[in-house]
Amino acid sequence: MAFDRLTFERAENEIKQRRISAENRLNMRIAEVEVKIPEISEINHQLSQTSIELSKLIVKKKDNFKESFEQIKSRNLQGQEMIKKLLTANGYSADYLEPVYTCPICRDKGYINGGRCSCFNKLLTHFAVEKLNSEANMPDCDFEHFSLEYYKGKTDANGIDCYKKMSENLDSCKKYASGFSINSQSLFLLGKTGTGKTHMSLAIAKVVSAKGFTVAYGSLLNYLRIIEKEHFGRANNSETDTLQVLINTDLLILDDLGSEFQTSFYESVLYNILNSRINLGLPTIISSNLTSSELQKNYNDRIISRLFSVFTTLMFVGEDIRQIKRLKDEY
């Protein structure tokens, strides 16, 4: 997956700071322990001497190299064991002087076995998603400001009590956000324009982001346009593979399905996003103003099948809240 230079540098700097922090924490622990347990200070001095002896041994390449090496190794292991015993005898854990890295796999180096560590890739995705979100210009929404007052005393064309239905949706979305994991279900929010779908999905995004997950949220049309420009080489100096960023983010929120132009390229990209995330087991939230029949008319069977068989559908009912607010402002 490709990332632009700024995103890459941010991830590299974060990895570097993690490693520096781990080393600083270790040095502080060593200093603390050596003051409280002077014997450990002496052993650490002896261990540093064995490292010097080993370096000299390698340079000189004596005939008895193997024997000398094993002797140095044995003294080193004995010293480490003595330190562990002294630590536990003084109320510390045996591994108190072991470095604690954010990523134990690469030990906060960012690379392992000649390639990028998963922690580095996750950081790259996080910063790429952060950049996408900053450009999306979506409103800041939360559950506390989702008012059910607009639904009171109203029923939809099918006789559904709007207040009751939207109360259920609010509870469901709150539970979804509070219990979110990368194994959470995908949600399909359906309903007429202005019934609260965008507000609800962004409220979920706010809670999930606060938990440390990467959440990409934005208009499906805007994402498709960005991917199209990158695909056909019309993006200005962009090295980021937005399609792969959207596929790999922990939670993807696509707003306003059906507002995009119906082209074979857009349909192919949408299917790729949906199918790839389903195969990876990653959750997606999609909202649309279209009815079920309109969706079936506009999209092929492969997309429709995934939307209605994999996603949990939440029906949003009520009047257009935006129009209600606008009319109130006018009067």
Average model confidence (pLDDT) across the chain: 90
Q: What are phi and psi of 311, to 5 degrees?
A: -85, 145
Cα(188)–Cα(220) distance, rounded to whole angstroms?
Answer: 14
Q: pLDDT value at position 179? A: 97
- In three-state form (DSSP H/G/I as H, E/B as E, the rest C), the secondary structure along 157-198 is CCCCEHHHHHHHHHHHHHHHHHCCCCCCCEEEEEECCCCCHH
Is residue 191 within 8 Å of residue 160, measured between CB atoms?
no
Predicted confidence (pLDDT) per residue in 128-163, tens digit:
999 888 877 777 789 999 999 999 999 988 899 999
Q: pLDDT value at position 56? A: 67
Predicted confidence (pLDDT) per residue in 288-320, tens digit:
999 999 999 999 999 999 999 999 999 999 988
Is residue 123 within 8 Å of residue 14, measured between CB atoms?
yes
Cα(44)–Cα(34) distance, rounded to whole angstroms?
Answer: 9
Pull the structure tokens for residue 160.
């559904």
Superfamily of domain 137-330: P-loop containing nucleotide triphosphate hydrolases (3.40.50.300)
Q: pLDDT value at position 331? A: 41
Nearest C-alpha neighbor of 143 from the set 165, 185, 171: 171
- What does pTM read for this prediction? 0.80
> Where, residue-wise, is CATH 3.40.50.300 in the chain?
137-330
Tens place of pLDDT per residue across the chain (331 aa): 678 888 999 999 999 999 999 999 999 999 999 999 999 988 888 887 776 766 666 666 666 667 777 777 788 888 889 999 999 999 999 999 999 999 999 999 999 999 999 999 999 999 999 988 887 777 778 999 999 999 999 998 889 999 999 999 999 999 999 999 999 999 999 999 999 999 999 999 999 999 999 999 999 999 999 999 998 876 555 567 899 999 999 999 999 999 988 899 999 999 999 999 999 999 999 999 999 999 999 999 999 999 999 999 999 999 888 777 765 654 4
